[in-house]
Structure formats: structure tokens, C-alpha cells
Amino acid sequence: DQQVKQNSPSLSVQEGRISILNCDYTNSMFDYFLWYKKYPAEGPTFLISISSIKDKNEDGRFTVFLNKSAKHLSLHIVPSQPGDSAVYFCAASARAGGTSYGKLTFGQGTILTVHP
Amino acid sequence: GAVVSQHPSWVICKSGTSVKIECRSLDFQATTMFWYRQFPKQSLMLMATSNEGSKATYEQGVEKDKFLINHASLTLSTLTVTSAHPEDSSFYICSANSIWANVLTFGAGSRLTVL
């Protein structure tokens, strides 16, 4: 049972435009969500996170939106740059239940390619 | 910032041998370390949670006798794949958090290929 899903395996965007990466989840116990970026042969690098008490969190060019009723979150990158090309994973955890937030459930990842 | 070092970055071994992968937190004490596995084109799957000085907690379906985890100190956790077989070939990634850290820090991963 895939509790976190990224239904788009890949996304191609022109430099300067907006990249929107989507993620859906099924477990209503999830209350903390993260986005990670991963280059080949490297470990995931933390990008941005959002708690379920918020619906938006912004950090520079990266904004994460959370729609709890739809169990959907998205990552917006504006403007997109060629260096943003990587695999993006969304992840979720259930922190409020006392479970360590390190116990993350990951989506399958979306390959983002930003063309110059 | 917090750095997690993982070694080796890649290893090739013969079927039936054992392989040890180390995960070190370089500039912080990691109370908990997590071991993930990623098969090609799949998501990272949590294998086990490793707490310093105690037994690891394994996820359902992960064989504790096959994947031995030792967290002997606050800066080192090891994963030993015992009697490795080709189906164990995967990308193994560790992550660590500290008492003060707000997010996990991941290692660069270890690519295991079992011939």
C-alpha cells in the first residue's frame, strides 16, 4: 500500500518558468511533510517542510502548499533553474503520535528537468 | 550544518558473503539513525530504526537476522548484510537526527551489487 504517491514520474520545464511537483497521501495520521531533492549517486537533501497546522510554507524560490482535506501537497519552484534538475521526493511522517519524525514514508519521486 | 558520512559508497560482492556499511554523523551526536533501501525506480523504504545502545526496530518484512544493525555509539551505526544474494542488490541510505536537529540528514548512500 503506497501511502505517499507522486503520480508524475517526470516533469520538464523551461528555465524561468514555474515547476509544480505534486504529492498525494492516504494516511490521515501524517502531520508533517517534507520535500527532498536528490542528485544521482547522492543522498537526499532536505528542501522544505510543512506542518499540518499550516497550509503554506515559503523559502526563497520554494513554496510548499498543503491541502489537508484533499490529502495533497505540492512544491512550487519559481523561477526554475537548470540546477534544479534532480529527483524530488515528498515524504511524510506522523509526529504527533509520538513516533520519531525520522520514520518517513517516501513517495516514488519525480524527475525534474529544467531546460535552459 | 549536520553531515552524515556513509561508507563505502559502492561495493560489489559475491553471493553468500557479508557486507558492512557504516553511517557516521560527523559533527553531531545522532541519538537515532535510520536505514532506508531504494530499489530502482522505487521510493526509499525504511528498513529499521537504530537507537544508540539498544536493539534496532525493524519494519515489517525486513529480516533482522539478515540485516544486522549495530548502533554502538552516538556517531556510528552499521548495517551488515549477511549472506548477501543478488536480490539484496540495492541502494542503502542512512539518515540521522540529533536532539537539536529539526530535520533528518541523509548520507550519500551505498550502492550494493551482489554477483
Q: Is the pLDDT at B67 greater than 50, yes or no?
A: yes
Inter-chain residue contact A100 with B103, CB threshold 8 Å: no
User: Whole-angstrom Cα distance, residue B5 to residue B20?
Assistant: 14
- Asked if B14 contacts B85 with a C-beta cutoff of 8 angstroms, the reply is no
Q: How far is A102 from chain B (nearest CA, A)?
A: 6
Nearest CA in chain A to B94: A43
pLDDT value, residue A75: 98
pLDDT digits (tens, 9 = 90+) for A66-113: 999 999 999 999 999 999 999 999 999 887 544 455 678 999 999 999
User: Whole-angstrom Cα distance, residue A49 to residue A34?
Assistant: 4
- Asked if B47 contacts B58 with a C-beta cutoff of 8 angstroms, the reply is yes
pLDDT digits (tens, 9 = 90+) for A39-78: 887 888 889 999 899 999 999 999 999 999 999 999 999 9
Sheet holding B76-81, edge to edge: B4-7, B19-25, B76-81, B67-73
- Asked if A114 contacts A21 with a C-beta cutoff of 8 angstroms, the reply is no
pLDDT digits (tens, 9 = 90+) for A3-16: 999 999 999 999 99
pLDDT value, residue A19: 98
For A107, the closest of B34, B43, B107 (CB atoms) is B43
In chain B, residues with a C-beta closer than 8 Å to the C-beta of A109 are: 43
- Is B106 within 8 Å of chain A by CB? yes
- Over residues B65-85, mean pLDDT: 93
Q: How far is B93 from chain A (nearest CA, A)?
A: 7
All cell numbers assigned to A6: 507522486
CB neighbour list of residue B72: distance below 8 Å, 6 or more residues apart = B52, B53, B78
Give the residue from B28, B30, B61 showing the smallest Cα distance to B47: B61
Inter-chain residue contact B46 with A103, CB threshold 8 Å: yes
For A89, the closest of B9, B41, B44 (CB atoms) is B44
In chain A, residues with a C-beta closer than 8 Å to the C-beta of B108 are: 41-43
Between B99 and A75, whose confidence is greater?
Answer: A75
For A102, the closest of B9, B34, B45 (CB atoms) is B34
- Is A104 within 8 Å of chain B by CB? yes
- Between the CA atoms of A78, A81, A85 and A91, what dihedral angle is there, to the nearest 10 degrees? -30
Give the residue from A83, A96, A41 showing the smallest Cα distance to B106: A41
